[in-house]
A and B are shown apart, each in its own frame.
Chain A
Amino acid sequence: MDFSSLYDSLALIKPEIIISVTLVLIVVLDLIYDKNKKLVPYLALLGLIVSGIYILSDIANEGFAFKMSATSNKFGLLALDSFGSYFKLLIILTSVLIVFFAKHSVEIENTGKRQGEFYTLLFGMILGMMFMVSASDLIMIYVSMELLSFSSYVLAGFIKLRDRNSEASLKYIIFGGVASGVMLFGISLIYGLTGTTNLYSINAALQSGNINLIVLGFSLLLIVAGIGYKISAVPFHFWTPDVYEGAPISITAFLSVASKAAGFAILIRFIKTAFVTNVDGSGNWLLVPVFDWKTLISVFAILTMTLGNFAALWQDNLKRMLAYSSIAHAGYLLLGVVVFSQIGIEAILIYFAIYMLMNLGSFYIVMLIADKTGSEDIHDYSGLGYVTPFLGVSFAVFLVSLTGLPPTAGFIGKLYLFIALIDAKMTTLAVIAVLNSVVSLYYYIRVLKHMFLTKPNGEVKEIKLSTANVVYVIVLLIPVLVLGIYFSPLVNFAESCLAFLSF
């Protein structure tokens, strides 16, 4: 490590530093005010917002941080570019929404004094994700993923009141431990083959030839397994339904959006940095012909969306249903990767922003209903659309958006994915994807059927909403509707964030 450029490196990671400082401040505040935890969320918000402003203010900020050495090798552990900044912004935005989410959540409120720990761990996750999205060294990828994982293991089992919490946490640890072990093994093989852990150097080594392709293929499969676990791609998804169902709902929502976004960012960066030799005029990536990424990701995409959608059909628990739905959405998102072009990446960026809005909205409404009725079972939703029309209609919009029907934002997300697919002339995949969205209609609309069409057994209690609840839903609802009709700002922003740091 070259320490002469340490100051330059630190200047590049101001947002991450702010998150770290906030983490420490939360611990201190937690110790000072032992009884009263009201201030903690506000401190968390402050840290997030300041960090967000820093990201936004120099979104085009580029450079390598923590260079290996000043002379021989200019590449560093972190590559700061606008692609990473976009994901950091997304993570910060999700975190801000999750802080409010947790503030409104009864189950988090009931943990009383332990709320300090909750936010500390949450910031651990955020920090891990933020390093993840710009990591350009296999060791950095591994370390940041572990930071994310360990915080989330604890948070998944944070509420000790219910058995399934502990079950979720334990399953998560076991699966996660295996996945990261497998990934580490893959990393060690890559190091053995190329003599480096830096993605840029790996790219150069691969281009120079003389690589044992069988060992390389095997090691890449292992690494993909590790990343696939994070984005819950089939067949590495087994933990997802159990953990999503068992974890506190705010953490489920966070895992389903931010953690998945970080996973996708690292998958894209890994392929882009280590395997792409050139980007041609029409935005297509030219890959080093050492590994058949296209087939592998295609198979993952088809399996992930199909299995996610079909498994969701049979779920009665809303959290579990949304867990399978998020698996299916990971499948759609993989379609953006499989085209290996700039437009595919743009589609992913657009989709994630929209997915964040609609998915958080759905989880939030499930939480509001679960807090009042104590149930996440679809049969307990009967007649709810009439007693609380606001929640019913909002949920309808979020679910229609998740299905991908116009005039909601979800349609625009899907539209861009399909545009990327058709542009790459991958019509078979496009057909499979649209048929999948028809399947998804059935389970999303099933919720609405129960809310509006089914006669309830007995009296349905009204769900009283606070102003904060209503505001939260509306804040998510308006962009979902507006982006469905006027999407230029989002697309323009995503287009401006497609720069990867290159050689």
Chain B
Amino acid sequence: MIETLYASGALNSPSGFLWATLLGVLFGLALERAGFGSSRRLAGVFYFEDMAVVKVMFSAMLTAMIGLNLAAALGILSFEALYLMPSVYGAYAVAGLVFGAGFVMSGWCPGTGLVGLASGKLDALVFLLGALLGSALYSELYPLLAGLARWGDSGAVLLPDLLGLPRPVFVTVFAVLGVAAFWLSEHLERRHYGRALATGKAFLAAVSAGFVLLAASLLSLPAPITAVTARGAPPEGFLAAIAEASDHIEPEELADRLMAGEPSLLVVDIRPAAEFAEFHLRGALNIPLEDLEAGLAPYRQGHLVVLCSGGMTHAAQARDHLARQGFENVYLLTDGLDGFIRRCLTPVSLRPAPVGPREAARINAWRAFFSASPAQAAGSPPLPYDGPLPGLVSTAWLAEHLTTPALRIIDLRAQPDYNYGHIPGSVCLSLESLRGSVGGLSSMLLPADLLARHFSLLGITPETLVVLVPGEKPHDATLAAMACERLGHRRYLILDGGFTAWEVEERPMDTLLPSIPETRYPAPAGPDGFTVDASGVLATLHDGRTVILDVRPAEYFSGQKTDEARAGHIPGAVNRPLTEDVQKDGEVSRLKPVPELEAAYAAIIPDKDTPVIVHCRTGHQASQGWFVLKRLLGYRNVKYYDGSWSEWASRPELPVETGEK
């Protein structure tokens, strides 16, 4: 059995380059001998004049096809040692049509164009310059074309296998069709020129008989044992190393090594992001097929990369492509994810064969480890939630729905705390990334388009149910809630008691970081409808209706203390420090029960239709007042003054009052 340079991964090595050069010389020679250094001759086929292209191309194709099948039948060569291009039907059909147009316009194709150049043809040089430009144009436009380039990708499959025909039968049929094309070509030429161009009938008959008989002789040879990776059949010897199964990793071994936390082991899931989101192995990295080469570049050395997809076909193709690019550390998961689920994650009770106690314990350990990986969904069906939205949610509910896709848990604590331990599957978000300088005012909630970008990076779609997890301060969650509100995202919940409650109740924790596919969250145009600026506040000062609610601590309200340009408060404002909305249960801070809040605010605000403007010093604490009034108590006209005291105090033209109220 021949080990090809491709199979040994040496295609792009000095010996590969030497062979390629030598074969190129022979290739150029054969093309030139055929007369393909002439564009006029090449184009002739499209006018049914000179049919040499058909004759040369199909004799060459038949010769190589018969030779290959002969070599495979005799055990000289396995198809698995050959580079088989994937069949991307849609892309290839479009490409073929465009290529044909370019071929007939120029009279050249890349190989013959080089021969034309070698023969001194200026039109060949111009054609090649065009081809260079066309290649570069494709690269430039690739971001737009990536979908088309993958349209109809059906993997590497052989046509006889697809048709269910034995390969010798297919080759024989192909030979008969080829011979028919030769006779048709001769007929067309005779009609055009009134005579045969180069071939007598006896010669043509001999060539025809030769091809058909050689092809038919394959029928008498024993069937080759090769099974290509097509149609889900497991490959028996993909590369030489795979023949000894040293390039495969068995699901059981992978499961054990992942549980052992081997640091150099990297599982790369090559399925599309949406499928990955539905299910993936814990700790797996999602690099869709088309980004694989670039995505794996950082792991070229020092890592053991295991490729997996649903079955084996795509992973095997990817392995094959990567080997060509010199990756030597890439392994395949035997039987793919389907096999992993069947062999490792199927409960003992559902297994067809009885399982011994030791094996059962192993299976249960795998199941516990791998089912702890929460699915990180984008684009999964929305999670039904029957409580009020937006609203508060209990730790018990969250624990129960932890593994549900379409849930995004956002941990708002500091990043070191998050890394030390977090709710499984949760993602860390710094509150400060939601705020910034806007129009000269610092600490303003960012405009919707920037927030939408953040949400996209968090893998959120408008259908995602977002759970906001503060540390100890409920107003951290309400500030993130304001970001949701600005985007019109009402599907959010605040974890009651925050992370502290989760921790105190000893619920599951994780240190693994989730892998989250980016989404595209649409940014709403226009104002959010609840934010007011200083002039909006000023306009309400003497309307006799609007309640301005200042949630800063009392000593700041009265003016005894200040961190800002001026001390005091907005004239007529009412003070209710935010701490009065919060109660402490041991270590856990949470918002007070709704009836208690209801009574407290009823004493300050006449009714639920009264316009209310909430502010604090920077807009952070005011978010809590806004959330309590608007979302928990159902006040209908609550505005948020984001600029808050920082802005008001800095503008000398705005009125200020001091003292208690």
Query: Are A and B associated in one complex?
Result: no
Interface residues of B (CB under 8 A from A): none
